[in-house]
């Protein structure tokens, strides 16, 4: 049939073949769209590695890029521990893990409830993990969890921390600070990696409220936190996300130095390497929420313009390629660590303060102080809630005792009960 059509077109002209002229006009545009889609999809991971027996902690692994990363790691044989905000008996989580196990033929996928918006929850999990002798095996930590709130106002956690800062940065700082002994205790022949999910928006972040001279002077004089909070800053709800990503990038490099500075009992060099990964812009639930601003009108506009977003945004699976390259490529398991990876290639940092040791130290000290203050506020809030619950229970018990007493004496507000002796006599 194709040969017949080609022969007819050759002998009788293109116009003799039905729809061929129109098809020839459409094909170049389809080819252009195909090329653009390949370009916007980004690079593909070419490295391969067997991950059988490796234990990997993953945050943000139930949706978006994190879910795609987990699926590929599980397919490669890794033992996955999902750190998720969902309760372990949540039907969604149970079904999700069952589907992952069946799809990847890997039943070494479990979950632990860790609410990144709660420092208390992070501490509870991390201390339970390291409170083990001998130390539990830990080959990799992949930090994919991410949130972005609207710029209409500042949202805070129960512990009084801005939500973007808490989930995107401070929870990771708290988690790794506690787990660092577990990372350093791994055998010297083990390739251990900590992979941070970052974003190019860190270029628009601002840490003036931490690194300014006013803050440094206040810290030197041990000024109260109220004085520190008045230090110069351009922090706002609009740039809260970018600031949290900048802080995460600075901390990642500081954490690599923290691990490398540890002197192992066996005198071997540190085997833990930090890698930062920028997956690019992807069609994830978080990106959709940001594009629509969480409104029905925005969602309608997004659906109408979806072909455009399908073209220019990566799929979650393509966004996961740089993460997989950081996991599997042998180059990131040796050397100094602290490399930035984008499109499966090492990149340079475009902000000088990211590699500034003074900035890293200021951020570390500030974060430790913030964690201490936030945990105190959280402890007070939990104590208050526990006290309120206890008072409510006591009130209910008192009402029940009073009701039982009135039933026994046969009186209730001066009125004889139906079961009393006088009512039966009448």
- Residue 224: its pLDDT value, please? 43
- Residue 231: its pLDDT value, please? 42
CATH entry, 55-279+314-376, from 3.40.50.970, 3.40.1190.20, 3.40.50.720, 3.40.109.10:
3.40.50.720
- Residue 6: its pLDDT value, please? 59
- The CA–CA distances, whole Å, from 161 to 121, 152, 172 equal 14, 17, 14
pLDDT greater than 60 at residue 282: yes
Q: Which of 257, 290, 296, 287 is nearest to 274 (CA)?
A: 257
User: Minimum mean pLDDT among 73-87, 114-128, 129-143, 234-248: which range?
Assistant: 234-248
pLDDT greater than 80 at residue 302: yes
Question: Over the chain, what is the mean pLDDT?
Answer: 83
| 3-class state of residue 82 by DSSP | strand
User: Is 426 buried (19+), middle (13-18) or exposed (0-12) by CB count in 10 A?
Assistant: exposed
When mean pLDDT is compared over 8-22, 206-220, 324-338, the highest value belongs to 324-338
Average pLDDT over residues 334-351: 87
- Residue 400: its pLDDT value, please? 82
Cβ-Cβ contacts under 8 Å for 382 (sequence gap 6 or more): 120
The C-alpha atoms of residue 196 and residue 123 are separated, in whole angstroms, by 19
The C-alpha atoms of residue 162 and residue 241 are separated, in whole angstroms, by 10
pLDDT band at 41 (very low <50, low <70, confident <90, very high): confident
In the chain, the percentage of residues whose pLDDT exceeds 70 is 83
- Residue 158: its pLDDT value, please? 85
The C-alpha atoms of residue 162 and residue 167 are separated, in whole angstroms, by 9
**Which position among 245, 257, 342, 412 bears the catalytic label?**
245
Q: Which is higher by pLDDT, 59 or 26?
A: 59
Average pLDDT over residues 238-247: 86
* Helix, strand and coil in the chain, % to nearest 5: 55, 10, 30
The C-alpha atoms of residue 141 and residue 274 are separated, in whole angstroms, by 10
Cis-peptide, bond into residue 266, ω within 30° of zero = no
What are the residue ranges spanned by the domains of the chain? 55-279+314-376
- The two three-digit tokens of residue 74, written as one number: 């599980």
Cβ-Cβ contacts under 8 Å for 50 (sequence gap 6 or more): 76, 77
What pTM was computed for the model? 0.81
pLDDT greater than 50 at residue 164: yes
State yes or no: is 392 an active-site residue. Answer: no
- Residue 214: its pLDDT value, please? 46
pLDDT band at 335 (very low <50, low <70, confident <90, very high): confident
The secondary structure of 165-216 as a DSSP string is: HIIIIIHHHHHHHHHHHHHHTS-TT--EEEEEE--GGGGG---HHHHSHHHH
């Amino acid at each position: 049939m194709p040969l017949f059509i080609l022969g007819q077109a050759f002998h009788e002209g293109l116009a003799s073949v039905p729809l061929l002229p129109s098809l020839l006009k459409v094909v170049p545009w389809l080819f252009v769209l195909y090329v653009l889609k390949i370009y916007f999809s980004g690079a593909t991971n070419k490295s391969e590695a067997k991950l059988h027996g490796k234990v990997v902690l993953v945050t943000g692994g139930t949706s978006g890029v994190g879910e795609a990363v987990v699926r590929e790691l599980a397919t490669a044989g890794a033992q996955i521990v999902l750190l998720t905000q969902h309760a372990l008996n949540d039907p969604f989580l149970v079904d999700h893990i069952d589907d992952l196990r069946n799809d990847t033929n890997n039943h070494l996928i479990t979950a632990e409830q860790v609410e990144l918006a709660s420092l208390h929850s992070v501490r509870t999990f991390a201390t339970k993990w390291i409170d083990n002798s001998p130390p539990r095996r830990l080959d990799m930590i992949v930090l994919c969890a991410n949130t972005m709130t609207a710029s209409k106002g500042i949202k805070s956690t129960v512990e009084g921390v801005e939500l973007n800062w808490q989930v995107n940065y401070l929870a990771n700082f708290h988690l790794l600070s506690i787990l660092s002994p577990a990372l350093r205790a791994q055998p010297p022949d083990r390739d251990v990696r900590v992979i941070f999910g970052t974003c190019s928006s860190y270029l628009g972040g601002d840490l003036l409220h931490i690194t300014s001279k006013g803050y440094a002077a206040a810290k030197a004089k041990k000024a109260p936190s109220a004085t520190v909070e008045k230090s110069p800053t351009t922090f706002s709800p609009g740039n809260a996300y970018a600031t949290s990503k900048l802080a995460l990038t600075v901390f990642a490099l500081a954490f690599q130095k923290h691990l490398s500075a540890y002197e192992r009992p066996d005198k071997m060099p540190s085997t833990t390497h930090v890698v930062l990964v920028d997956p690019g812009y992807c069609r994830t639930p978080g990106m959709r929420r940001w594009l629509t601003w969480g409104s029905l009108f925005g969602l309608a506009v997004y659906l109408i313009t979806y072909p455009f977003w399908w073209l220019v945004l990566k799929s979650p699976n393509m966004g996961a390629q740089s993460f997989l390259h950081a996991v599997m490529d042998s180059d990131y398991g040796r050397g100094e660590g602290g490399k930035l990876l984008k499109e499966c290639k090492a990149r340079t940092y475009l902000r000088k303060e990211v590699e500034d040791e003074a900035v890293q130290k200021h951020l570390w000290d500030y974060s430790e102080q913030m964690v201490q203050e936030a945990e105190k506020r959280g402890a007070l809030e939990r104590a208050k809630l526990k006290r309120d619950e206890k008072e409510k229970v006591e009130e209910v018990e008192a009402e029940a005792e009073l009701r039982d007493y009135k039933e026994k004496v046969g009186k209730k507000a001066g009125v004889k009960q139906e079961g009393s002796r006088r009512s039966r006599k009448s």
